[in-house]
Structure 1
Amino acid sequence: MKSFDVAAVEKLVDYPGLIAALEEAHKAGMPEAQHMVMDEPEGGSNKFVSLLGWARNDVVAAKLVGVFPTNLKRQPAEPSVQGLVVVFDATTGAPTLIADGAAMTFRKTAGDSGLGSRLLARPDAKTLLVLGAGGLAPHMIDAHVAARPSIERVMIWNRTPERATALAERLADRYVVTAVLDLDDAVAQADIVSCVTMSDRPLVKGRCLKPGAHLDLVGAYLPTMREADDEAIRRGSLFVDTRNGMEGAGDLIQPVNAGVIGWDAVQADAFELCQGVHAGRSADDEITIYKNVGGGHLDLYTARYLASRI
């Protein structure tokens, strides 16, 4: 059994290749996938997550991760998501590789959003705005640029401006990147807006989105969380990576409960987009929204891509 640390995962799981692999994987049906989320005993804020994906006669991928939000406040800070991904041979059940769970999760999540941009964003998109400056933010930039190489400028906004500035400085040798303070103005300029926050209130105002923009919603994985307001959801053509579990996403369930949209507003998922069942963007001025829900099938696809690179 081979082992892959963070550096090995970063070297082998490149975003252009991963996004292409995810697109190809979605041309087939959904593999068997299950997940379990366990809350911290006695009401703590931490969670432990187990995700399992099984592609018959191919691979079984199991991800075991802890989600500990306060890790970012530790000195020194630690990733809020840590764990392991293990891949097994689906014909024998034998383990074949083990990989760092945080690194694989970053790449799975960012690759998913990159796939959304490849399928839905305008091919001539030039300006990317990322909301959030945590561990996932630089991966999102890499993935969106891999999906849309036309991107020439990157903006970063964060509730704590110093963190956005620090990330911009860190990436300055690779991108034309700036930290921004005025979120509404930045949204109005952006061709792609990617939200990777833990916000419990809307940040992106629909009235600020420019015609033709693509909105990538990654946070708000709980019903109580929110990254985009009702006007954004109302204005955009809504897509998801998977319908499995989308009812738990705050950016969807809240406007549904408020009567702003119905579940039929979700036009297609990534499987339907990749299989050509739905054409995706239909006009240059259409606003598209991709809700990154996630799931064990994406961990399986990402692990299979890593295995293919060995």
Structure 2
Amino acid sequence: MQILTAEMLEKSVDWQALMDGLIAGHKMPKAHIGDTLLEQGGRKFLARSAWIEGLGACTKAVTIYPDNSQQKPALPSVQGHLIMFDEATGAPLALLDGPAETRLKTAADSALGSALLSRQDAELLLMVGAGNMAGPLIEAHLAARPSLQKVLIWNRTEKRAAQLAADIKRLTGIDAEAISELDEAIPEADIICSATMSEKPVIKGALLSKGTHLDLVGAYTPTMREVDNKALARARLFADSFDTTLDHIGEYKIPLQRGAIQRSDVLADFYGLVDGAKGRLDDDDITLFKNGGGAHLDLMIAHHFANQ
């Protein structure tokens, strides 16, 4: 059985190859997925499993301990592993570092959403949030849209945004800048990637310019949202997976329950888009993509790393 550490996974990331792996996986039979989430005192244990005929099965199990940052020395808040099993024999094939695989899967997920839905001439990327996922997300978006010329970064703590901007400029050479006024930047952006922990919308739909692509990553619980109903009303709506977003994540779950949108308004997920469903119809469309994740995506990414 292969053991793939975080260093091994992150040493030479090929974003296009990861996107190609996701496309190939969505051309296979639809995945069977199942999640288990246990909570105790603000701490969580999450196990996500998937089985794809012809590709195999996997389970990713992680602990989420937000208070680990207060330990001395500080510990990661998310820890765990993914194990992949052979389709033919059921034998364990590979053990992957869970947080590293998750970062790469999540960013590749958003990159593919952008490749399928954003304008090909997009030049300005606005990153909302400067947490651990922001760096990989920016790098993945730059790979998906080489036309991008500048990155703006907003974070509630501006110091973190400034540090990330400096890191991105050093690593990629692209013009990156921290900003203090989010509302002023939203109309300028061709692509907006949001990865916050907010339970109240931080992006106002009324401020969006025609042609903008929204990539929403942060909300992952039934109570979390990053955009308001105005953004949903103005946009063509998509998701990586109907099964992991519509009934489980507040971004769609709340407006669906309250009648702000209808189920038919969410036009396609990756299975549909890869199969030829219409995404962006013209350059004036606002497209909104909800990155909700799912163990089937983890399996596709793990398969790529185990076989490269």
User: Structures share a fold, TM > 0.5?
Assistant: yes
Per-residue CA shift, 1:69-107, capped at 9, x if unaligned?
A: 334555655443221011221212222221110000001
State the SS of the aligned residue for 2:243.
Answer: coil
| Alignment correspondent of 2:274 | 274
**Counterpart pick for 1:98 among 91, 95, 102:** 95
CA distance in 2, matches of 1:67, 1:96: 25
Provide the residue aligned with 2:227 in structure 1: 228
Quick one: which of 81, 86, 91 aligns to 1:84? 81
For residue 66 of structure 2, what is the aligned residue in structure 1?
Answer: 69
- Which residue of 2 is the match for residue 52 of structure 1? 49
Q: 1:86 to 1:180 in 2, by over 3 A?
A: same
Q: Percent identity?
A: 43
Give the stretch that moved more between structures: 73-82 or 232-241: 73-82
Task: Tell me how far apart the structure 1 counterparts of residues 162 and 69 of structure 2 sit (CA, whole Å).
Answer: 17
Paired residue for 2:16? 16
Q: 1:244 and 2:275 equivalent?
A: no
Alignment partner of 1:155 out of 138, 152, 157: 152
Instruction: Determine the structure 2 residue equivalent to 1:187.
Output: 186
Q: Judge which range, 30-39 or 297-306, deviates more.
A: 30-39
Deviation by residue 1:155-182 (Cα, 9 ceiling, x = unmatched)? 1111111111111122221221111111
Cα distance in structure 1, aligned partners of 2:121 and 2:72: 42
- Aligned residue in 1 for 2:287: 288
- The answer to whether the 8 A contact 2:192-2:213 is kept is yes
C-alpha displacement of 1:296: 0.9
Kindly tell me: are residues 55 and 261 of structure 1, through their superposed partners in 2, closer, same or farther at Cα, counting changes over 3 Å? closer
How far apart are the structure 2 equivalents of 1:76 and 1:230? 42
**Structure 1 residue 258 displacement after superposition:** 2.8
C-alpha contact 1:28 1:271 (8 A) present in aligned 2: no
Report the CA distance shift for 1:73/1:206 in structure 2 as closer, same or farther (over 3 A): farther
TM-score relative to the length of structure 2: 0.94
Q: How many residues are matched?
A: 305
Check whether the contact 1:13–1:306 (CA below 8 A) recurs between aligned residues: no
User: In the aligned structure 1, how far is the partner of 2:164 from the partner of 2:71?
Assistant: 18
After superposition, the Cα gap between the structure-2 partners of 1:14 and 1:81, relative to the gap in structure 1 and judged at 3 Å, is farther
Match of 1:26 in 2: 26
| Cα separation, 2, equivalents of 1:73 and 1:163 | 18
In structure 2, distance between residues paired with 1:69 and 1:233: 31
Measure the CA separation in 2 of the matches of 1:133 and 1:191: 19
DSSP 3-state at the match of 2:261: coil
Contact 2:126 2:186 in 1 (8 A): yes
**Preserved CA contact (<8 Å) 1:35 1:50:** yes
Runs (5+) with no aligned partner, structure 2: none
Distance 1:283 1:120 in 2: 10
Looking at structure 2, the residues matched to 10 and 291 of structure 1 have their Cα atoms a distance apart, in angstroms, of 24
1:205 maps to which residue?
204
Q: Deviations over 1:230-254 (max 9, x none)?
A: 1111111100111103222111122
**3-state secondary structure, aligned to 1:82:** strand
Whole-angstrom distance in 2 between the partners of 1:23 and 1:157: 31
* TM-score after normalising by structure 1: 0.94
Taking the aligned partners of 1:90 and 1:256, their CA distance within structure 2 comes to: 37
Give CA-to-partner distance per residue, 1:243-274, whole Å, 9 cap, x none. Answer: 10322211112222332211211011111000
Q: Secondary structure at the match of 1:224?
A: coil
Counterpart CA distance in 1 for 2:73 and 2:155 is 20
Judge conservation of contact 1:132–1:197 (CA < 8 Å) in 2: yes
Q: How far apart, in 2, do the equivalents of 1:153 and 1:76 lie?
A: 37
Q: Distance in 1 between matches of 2:263 and 2:234?
A: 15
Instruction: Decide whether aligned partners of structure 1 residues 269 and 209 sit closer, same or farther in structure 2, where only a CA change above 3 A counts.
Output: same
Deviations 1:165-210 (A, max 9, x none): 1111222212211111110111111111011110011100001111
User: Please, which moves more after superposition, 10-19 or 264-273?
Assistant: 10-19
Alignment of 1:120 with 2:145, yes or no, is no
Say what the alpha-carbon RMSD is for the aligned residues. Answer: 1.5
1:46-72, Cα deviation, whole Å (9 max, x unpaired): 111111122334322221111223345
**Aligned residue type for 1:245:** T
Partner of 2:253: 253
Unaligned runs of 5+ in 1: none
Q: Distance in 1 between matches of 2:269 and 2:223?
A: 23
Q: Is the 8 A contact 2:49 2:58 kept in 1?
A: yes
Residues of 1 paired with 2:18 and 2:111: CA distance? Answer: 9
Which amino acid in 1 is paired with 2:125?
L
Q: Distance in 2 between matches of 1:209 and 1:72?
A: 36
